Amino acid sequence: MTATDDRRATTVPVHAIPARLARTPAGQAAGRLDGAWWPRSRDLARELPSLVRAMEDMGGITRATVNPKLWQGVPRQVPASGRLVKVGWFTDEQDLHEIMLLSYRVGRWELLVVPPETEPDTARRMMAAASTAGDMRSATALVEAMSAPVRGRTDVRDVDDPSESDWEAEGGHLRTTRETPFPVAAAVG
Contacts of 135 (CB under 8 A, 6+ apart): 31, 32, 33, 129, 142
User: Is residue 83 predicted with pLDDT exceeding 80?
Assistant: yes
Percent of the chain with pLDDT over 90: 55
What is the model's pLDDT at position 150? Answer: 52
Q: Can you give the chain as a three-state secondary structure string?
A: CCCCCCCCCCCCCHHHCCCCEEECCCCCCCCCCCEEECCCCCEHHHHHHHHHHHCHHHCCCCEEEECHHHCCECCCEEEECCEEEEEEECCCCCCCCEEEEEECCCEEEEEEECCCCCCHHHHHHHHHHHCCCCCCCCHHHHHHHHHCCCCCCCCCCCCCCHHHHHHHHCCCCCCCCCCCCCCCCCCCC
Instruction: Give the model confidence (pLDDT) of 135-176 as tens digits.
Output: 899 999 999 999 876 554 444 444 444 444 444 444 444 433
Model pTM score: 0.70
pLDDT band at 70 (very low <50, low <70, confident <90, very high): very high
Question: CA-to-CA distance for 49 and 64, rounded, in angstroms?
Answer: 11
Say which residue, 120 or 165, is predicted with more confidence: 120
The mean pLDDT value for 65-70 works out to: 96
Q: Residue 131: exposed, middle, or buried by beta-carbon count in 10 A (0-12, 13-18, 19+)?
A: buried
In the predicted structure, residue 112 carries a pLDDT above the cut 80: yes
**Whether residue 11 has pLDDT greater than 80:** no
